[in-house]
Structure 1
């Protein structure tokens, strides 16, 4: 019987029949040493893992085989939050006295300084999303605009069918698809920094945790001056890596306050407004460029557009012509 193909197929780090090798390699990739114990009279153990690290966020697809039932017990997760999402089957999770199950509709979260165990049936491939704990906590501080007064703790089980978590899960799948298709999303510094912010902010806004109430508490309407500061910062630094958290810090407010300000005053989001500014810069360069000396993709990349299909669609919607047509016209002038 053919095994189910795993995502991130071009980034294989492990395929082995040896339990000890699997334990060693998977522990190093996930930066969390752990025990793997085969149970249930396994007919065949074959661990497979594909993984891509983006620095503060990483993705891994993991499967222990069609005939193997295993129990996985991490020794510690001091420096990470690890989200488990099933591609098929169901994996039980235990943390202290709390139990939850990872399925295609629900995730589980391992977190720093808490015991954790996975009861992994056969034919249950999983996608894991790893977050650097210090980065998650730093992002949360910026989002609430204050220091953390108690430990950030995610609930063990997370519902992936809520609108916010469904949106986050779609972001994860989009990134994985882009990596599978060989896009530069995993290598370009601007794209990677944006992904760090997108993935982390999305998880904090969508998941249930010890700061959820504070994060979603209604905030006062921000003054127009706050939005103006953010716009000025965008225009000066548009060519640099830009995250919502960096922009909020420059404006002197939390992420949620900044987003609310853009919605109320400009009827858009900070990210959409930044895209508009960058499109303006791209158009100006295309109009002034020599088509014999540059390309559309080179100019787009310089202004932070790493997904050229999305860029081309946005440009055509904004200006009624393809970017290549603008560049071609510049040569005729």
Structure 2
């Protein structure tokens, strides 16, 4: 089970389930096949500002019909298969493939899960947020229209990267969600929207494949200064693009040219150095996980590994070692 800390509904009442689907998912009709086994439908959900993660599971055959919503869906099967009807297109989905896409303006679509039930994880992204993010990345003067299409079954690697990112976020929310700072949540949202655009087929893919312009040294300096001054606040490509008056993709190129890394990795390095300062101070009541969350990390284990990669020791070693023996 994913998102177990965020239960939304656990029920065998068909009327209750239908009402929930109408209110929360644009549902229109809900049908299930009667059997001797007790029917149970479960939904765990995290609904953020621009992104939602929804885990759904049941133990019986069901068919659900939906209408249009304001958000796009990318649905990944986790257990058993599904047959999806989107307009005239019929899609067979299994836990081994790339799932399916439902555009925001899809007026009528349905999904049927066979006997034995199913389990799936759905990423929802606000349709306008997708267009705004694409505008930021490309530097277009106007907000582009993003028309989504189904995954290419031959492009396994790209789809696997998105699936991995979505599942990892769900796992980290389960384990550490109570400790996430607001800016960490916001950065995760921006990262998922970026990955959705990058790893999904749409009519604007060519804009993300063009070679971006290379910004000036002055623009790079403004971005670096902004990161150093705001390391403990939300930092994302949209903000950095605004600071330097360049496109998001230009920022990626600038960081590759100057620092041989992505903007995200550079921000992470700055935060790791700030984390080391906090650990060296060793204030009363300070915990390693507390430092990790304060510095924008959402997974203490990942924080410890990244810290060791830079400083050659774990955060716990820094805290335990006598100050005179700590390598600078």
| Bin of the TM-score, shorter chain as denominator length | 0.7 to 0.9
Shift of 1:270: 0.4
Q: Deviations over 1:169-209 (max 9, x none)?
A: 111111122233x2137842122111101111001011001
Partner SS for 1:37 = strand
Q: Distance in 2 between matches of 1:102 and 1:199?
A: 22
Of residues 48, 51, 54, the one that matches 1:54 is 48
**1:59-118 deviation digits (Å, cap 9, x = unpaired):** 11213433x231x222321x1111111112222223333333332212212222222322
Distance of 1:166 and 1:234 partners within structure 2: 31
Alignment match of 1:140 (pick from 134, 137, 143)? 134
Structure 1 132/170 Cα, relative in aligned 2: closer, same or farther at 3 Å? same
For 2:229 and 2:131, the matched residues in 1 are separated by: 28
Report the Cα distance in structure 2 between the residues aligned to 1:169 and 1:262, rounded to whole angstroms: 26
Contact kept? 2:307, 2:314, Cα under 8 Å: yes
- After TM superposition, give the deviation of residue 254 of structure 1 in Å: 1.8
Q: What SS does structure 1 have at the residue aligned with 2:84?
A: strand
Query: Who is 1:260 aligned against?
Result: 253
Whether the aligned pair in 1 keeps the contact of 2:98 and 2:160 (CA below 8 Å) is no
Kindly indicate whether residue 168 of structure 2 is the aligned counterpart of residue 177 of structure 1: no
Once residues 165 and 223 of structure 1 are traced to their aligned partners in structure 2, the CA distance between those partners, rounded to angstroms, is: 34
Q: What is the number of equivalent residue pairs in this alignment?
A: 321
- Rounded Cα–Cα distance in structure 1 between residues aligned with 2:154 and 2:297: 29
Q: Does 1:112 align with 2:112?
A: no
Offset of residue 212 of structure 1: 0.9
Query: Contact 1:87–1:125 at 8 Å: present in 2 too?
Result: yes
**Is 1:155 aligned to residue 149 of structure 2?**
yes
Structure 1, unpaired ranges of 5+: 1-5
- Whether 2:189 is the aligned partner of 1:196: answer yes
* CA apart distance, 1:37: 2.8
2:93 counterpart residue number: 102
Please say if residues 91 and 121 of structure 1, whose CA atoms lie closer than 8 Å, have aligned partners that are also in contact. yes
The residue that corresponds to 1:126 in the other structure is 120
**Cα distance in 2 between the residues matched to 1:91 and 1:64:** 13
Asked if the contact 1:107/1:160 (under 8 Å) is kept, the reply is no
